[in-house]
Structure formats: structure tokens, C-alpha cells
Amino acid sequence: MVDTKDNHGAALSPMQAYALLGPGVISRGGFYAAIARGEIPHKRIGKRIIIPRHKFLAWLDATEEREPQRPEGAEAR
């Protein structure tokens, strides 16, 4: 059931989803390439791409859980 009290739409545009990731996480081209490879959940309606908000957020949470954890104080390469 859709929560009608939520002011957010059920779907995101690719640019809205990209903005949710925050600056510097991935390039815009890399984001669209991930969509094309099917790595980011999305639907196509004609040429338009829509990203279901709940699936994108669940994908993002699952992606963060799979990231290897660095020991505290270790620098990223």
C-alpha cells in the first residue's frame, strides 16, 4: 500500500536518484552506465527511465552492506 502522507513520489528520475548518492560518489556517466548494465533497479517507459524509490533505497542499503569494512584508521586507496 502506498503511503499517501509521504510527500515524496513513488519514483525518481535518474538525476534525482543520482543526487541522493551525494557528490563525488560516482560520475553521472558512470551512474547511467550502471543503469544500462542493470545494476541499478529501474523501469523503462518508452525512452524514459524511472527508478522506483523503495527499490533504489533498498539497493543502496544492500550495496553499503556488501562494502568491505576497513579497519579504523586505515586510509582508502
pLDDT in tens, 9-68: 899 999 999 999 988 899 999 999 999 999 999 999 999 999 999 999 999 888 766 655
Place of cell 527511465: 49
Task: Enter the pTM of the model.
Answer: 0.70
Task: Note whether residue 76 is domain-resident.
Answer: no
Task: Note whether residue 3 is domain-resident.
Answer: no
How many independent structural domains does the chain possess?
Answer: 1
Phi then psi for 12, rounded to 5 degrees?
A: -115, 150
Q: What is the pLDDT of residue 76?
A: 53
> Residue 2's pLDDT band (boundaries 50, 70, 90)?
very low
Task: Note whether residue 53 is domain-resident.
Answer: yes
Phi then psi for 51, rounded to 5 degrees?
A: -120, 110
CA distance 9 to 72: 38
Domain range enclosing 39: 11-64
Q: What is the pLDDT of residue 1?
A: 41
